[in-house]
Structure 1
Amino acid sequence: MSEEPSRLPRLTLARQIRDSLVSRIVSGQVRPGERLVETRLAATYGTSQAPVREALRELEAMRLVETQPRRGTFVRPFVQETLRESYVVRAALEETATRLALLAGTVPVEALRADVEAMRAAADLGDGEASARASVSFHRRVVEAAHNELLKRTWESLQIEARTSVTMVATEVDLHDVARGHAELLAAIEAGDLETACRHARDHQWHYADLPHDAHGRAREAAG
């Protein structure tokens, strides 16, 4: 594989291998269609095949790779593009869910507050996976509060947990910023300002779409 990373310590865990591979796949260092060979990866990272195998299973759950019978494990095509596209679609779905839930008065505010607190605690501990779980929980509660089964199924089909984990690893987000962003969204929801809350819900997802402009058509550099 191209541009091999520095050899990791012998005590590395499968998660560290997984995170390294996520970064390399999303950055394009490992190309779509490239085969990931356990023995080569084990040699690259200076470990046995067992943690490599576990890391590849997690990458498959994240839908970054696919295992083909009798052929091996390969990087899925269009990883970067589908990540960007999923956040644009998710922005539209969650804006609509927020509108429906607020109009119906079904937003589970206390549960959302608990999720934000969980994100703050995860940020203090530097626990990205706990932060991702709390974030997904927060957004799922809003989607479920919309009481629209088609919207919910469409949202679930985006593989939200997997894509959130990928984003957390690949972009090295500041976990405290994640908590603050959700707290701002919750504040808008609690204030009951329908249009402001919907705008926050949309912009919150569009931020991760990695496009040259934001949801309002402003260039990223100019949006500040």
Structure 2
Amino acid sequence: MRSDEPGKLSRLTLSQQIRDSLVGRIVSGEIAPGERLIETRLAATYGTSQAPVREALRELEAMRMVETRPRRGTFVRHFVQQTLRESYVVRAALEETATRLAILGGTVPVAALRAEIEAMRAAARDGDAEAAVRASVAFHRHIVDAAQNELLKLSWEALQIEARTSVTVVAAGVDLHEIVQDHAELLASIESGELEAACKHARDHQWHYAALPHDAHGRSRKSAG
């Protein structure tokens, strides 16, 4: 059973599992825009108490995927896909800056980044999307940590990176081997020591998933293809 389906949850915390499942169901259209999410029904669906469901809904609200209306309840927001696109544009700016700071500061944790790529490679061989997502998020978190800028890190974490990455992998049907290749190329760019090229690569790496009709440089994706 896919991780975005109810009834079979494992790993992570229970609230995170419920959050990721709901995200997948919302993005796939199984739960429609405007639909009300009722805690008691969700708790029954997932075979749990209301507490982890409530926490999952709070996280979804922070991701701007649902909204709570006073005295009415929690509803799925419209334009969820637009919200996902916007998050990648913001993430691109943050990670470009983090890459710049880490390179200038000489704090790039190359060994740790290589280890995460190996973890992604193992996950791709096993067809384990969840493990691939964890390794991908860890890879980028190493770079953000290496920037040594707490406000940047807080802003990055506020984007709910792991949940959004899970959504992208599931909704876009991303090839796990492609994830490995993308990160290997990004690391090679960082290791090259060419600051502007590495920063551009870090930015473009995220813009690729923004699913916009143009890239970060204003070029039409159609004409580029």
TM superposition score category, shorter chain reference: 0.7 to 0.9
Give the secondary structure class of the aligned counterpart of 2:27.
Answer: helix
Superposition deviation, residue 12 in structure 1: 5.9
Greater Rg, structure 1 or structure 2?
1
* Farther off after superposition, 160-169 or 111-120: 160-169
Question: Are 1:138 and 2:149 an aligned pair?
Answer: no
Identity %: 70
Question: Are 1:95 and 2:96 an aligned pair?
Answer: yes
Superposition deviation, residue 166 in structure 1: 1.4
Superposition deviation, residue 159 in structure 1: 1.2
Superposition deviation, residue 158 in structure 1: 1.0
Letter of the structure 2 residue corresponding to residue 99 of structure 1: R
Judged with a 3 Å threshold, the aligned counterparts in structure 2 of structure 1 residues 222 and 147 are, in CA distance, closer, same or farther, namely same
Question: Are 1:50 and 2:51 an aligned pair?
Answer: no
Gaps of 5+ in 2: 11-16
* Number of the residue aligned with 1:186: 187
Gaps of 5+ in 1: 1-8, 43-47
Superposition deviation, residue 105 in structure 1: 0.7
Superposition deviation, residue 72 in structure 1: 5.5
Give the TM-score taking structure 2 as reference length: 0.78
User: Given that residues 36 and 76 in structure 2 are in contact (C-alpha distance below 8 angstroms), is that contact kept between their aligned partners in structure 1?
Assistant: yes
Letter of the structure 2 residue corresponding to residue 143 of structure 1: V
User: Given that residues 14 and 52 in structure 1 are in contact (C-alpha distance below 8 angstroms), is that contact kept between their aligned partners in structure 2?
Assistant: no
Q: Could you report, residue by residue, the CA deviation over 1:123-142 in whole angstroms, capped at 9, with x for unpaired residues?
A: 11111111111111111111
Q: Could you report, residue by residue, the CA deviation over 1:87-109 in whole angstroms, capped at 9, with x for unpaired residues?
A: 00110111111111111111000
User: Given that residues 116 and 182 in structure 1 are in contact (C-alpha distance below 8 angstroms), is that contact kept between their aligned partners in structure 2?
Assistant: yes
Question: Are 1:120 and 2:121 an aligned pair?
Answer: yes
Q: How does 1:33-48 map to 2 (within 5 A)?
A: 33-36=34-37
* Number of the residue aligned with 1:220: 221
- Structure 2 distance, partners of 1:58, 1:175, is 29
Question: Are 1:201 and 2:202 an aligned pair?
Answer: yes
Superposition deviation, residue 50 in structure 1: 3.5
* Number of the residue aligned with 2:172: 171
User: Given that residues 22 and 169 in structure 1 are in contact (C-alpha distance below 8 angstroms), is that contact kept between their aligned partners in structure 2?
Assistant: no
User: Given that residues 18 and 56 in structure 2 are in contact (C-alpha distance below 8 angstroms), is that contact kept between their aligned partners in structure 1?
Assistant: no
- Structure 2 distance, partners of 1:41, 1:77, is 20
Letter of the structure 2 residue corresponding to residue 100 of structure 1: L
Letter of the structure 1 residue corresponding to residue 45 of structure 2: Q
Superposition deviation, residue 77 in structure 1: 4.1
Give the TM-score taking structure 1 as reference length: 0.79
Superposition deviation, residue 184 in structure 1: 0.3
Judged with a 3 Å threshold, the aligned counterparts in structure 2 of structure 1 residues 50 and 102 are, in CA distance, closer, same or farther, namely closer
Give the secondary structure class of the aligned counterpart of 1:214.
Answer: coil
User: Given that residues 13 and 51 in structure 1 are in contact (C-alpha distance below 8 angstroms), is that contact kept between their aligned partners in structure 2?
Assistant: no
Number of aligned residue pairs: give it: 210
